[in-house]
Amino acid sequence: MIARIPQQTRMLRVAGQQVRHASGLPIPPKIATPKSVSGGSGTSSSTEAVVNFYKSLPKGPAPEKRAVGIKAKYFDGKNASGKPILATIGALLLIGYTIEYNGHLKYHKNAHH
């Protein structure tokens, strides 16, 4: 009984991996099956459904996506620039200088150089 548990879990894990692998692949619709091609009417209802589906898809190029996030706004695309990096470095230098200056004032509060 105890020896079966690892084997069963291994089998479930392998089956799960197979399902994940199979579901990640794009599967095209079956448009021309032997049954629909040999039919007397020329087109079947399933073929019409597939054709109608593809007709209802939007035409033309995909709409341009809005930039989301700092990297996309400032470093990718049309507005690519190094100004945010320079502004960040400047802000860090200013903050660091302010901290050092205040520490210096506290150190020399009662005594001169």
Looking at the domain assignment, is residue 90 inside a domain?
Answer: yes
- What is the pLDDT confidence band of residue 110, given thresholds at 50, 70 and 90? confident
Give the pLDDT score at 97.
96
C-alpha span between 41 and 48 (Å, rounded): 12
* 29 or 71, higher pLDDT: 71
Looking at the domain assignment, is residue 32 inside a domain?
Answer: no
Say yes or no to pLDDT of 64 above 90: no
Looking at the domain assignment, is residue 97 inside a domain?
Answer: yes
Q: Which amino acid is at 21?
A: H
Looking at the domain assignment, is residue 100 inside a domain?
Answer: yes
Looking at the domain assignment, is residue 91 inside a domain?
Answer: yes
Reported pTM = 0.40
DSSP string, 69-93: SHHHHHTSGGG--SHHHHHHHHHHH
C-alpha span between 56 and 69 (Å, rounded): 33
The domain tally of the chain equals 1
- What is the pLDDT confidence band of residue 73, given thresholds at 50, 70 and 90? confident
Token pair listed for 19: 């399902």
* 74 or 94, higher pLDDT: 94
**Share of the chain residues as helix, strand and coil, in percent rounded to the nearest 5:** 60, 0, 40
* 44 or 57, higher pLDDT: 57
Looking at the domain assignment, is residue 85 inside a domain?
Answer: yes
- b/e code 88-107 from CB counts within 10 Å (16+ = b): eeeeeeeeeeeeeeeeeeee
Q: Where in the sequence is the domain holding 100, given as residue range(s)?
A: 81-108
Looking at the domain assignment, is residue 104 inside a domain?
Answer: yes
C-alpha span between 62 and 64 (Å, rounded): 6
Looking at the domain assignment, is residue 92 inside a domain?
Answer: yes
